[in-house]
Amino acid sequence: MRLFTSVLALGTACASFAATAQDFPTRREGLWEVTINHEAAGAPQTMQQCTDAETDKLMNAFGGDMSADLCSKQDVRKVGATIVVNATCQIGAMKSTSESVITGDFNSNYSVKVTSKVEGLPAAAKGIAGGTTTIQARWVSACKPDQKPGDIVMASGKTMNIRDLRKMMGPKGAPKPKGAPK
């Protein structure tokens, strides 16, 4: 169930950034702490991301690539300094309809409030179907000496880099088949 919750949180985060990378401001270079809290999934998950302008665009593009084939609707509009994204996405039997409201200065902090409805989940996951997910991010400092831009330190402590993750994924964010060339 914890793995499913992590996948759901990642999917929600990607849906919030489903639009093209140019629709979103570039975050300040350095170490960002990102906390994802799905109201029905228990404890929030916190990760850290080391970014620079290039890897920040890669992260946004990765979310857009993942959702491009999954989402039949991706409307992005600016309302003053706020970005609002409405999306309808299908992942297998699951259909998600969401509205993401993104605020902040992307220099020191930003937040994303995603209100969603998910249909077609297995019975065991009905308790976390839809609802509200809040993503809070704050700039912490320069990246740590052992980090490189694109590093993502997951809540479990495992580190991956967005460049490596993109290499593992096929076109439009789909996993590459086993044995496929890198």
User: Pick the residue with more confidence: 130 or 180?
Assistant: 130
How does DSSP assign the chain, residue by residue? -HHHHHHHHHHHHHHHT-S-GGGSPPPPSEEEEEEEEETTSSS-EEEEEEE-HHHHHHHHHHHHHHHHTTEEEEEEEEETTEEEEEEEEEETTEEEEEEEEEEE-SSSEEEEEEEEEEES--GGGGGGSSEEEEEEEEEEESPPTT--TTEEE-TTS-EEEHHHHHHHB-GGGPBPPTT---
pLDDT tens-digit series, residues 31-87: 999 998 988 777 898 999 999 999 988 887 766 666 667 788 888 888 898 999 888
Domain range list for the chain: 2-171
**pLDDT of res. 126:** 64
The percent of residues above 90 in pLDDT, for the chain, comes to 31
Q: Is the pLDDT of residue 10 over 60?
A: no
pLDDT at 94 over 90: no
pLDDT at 179: 46
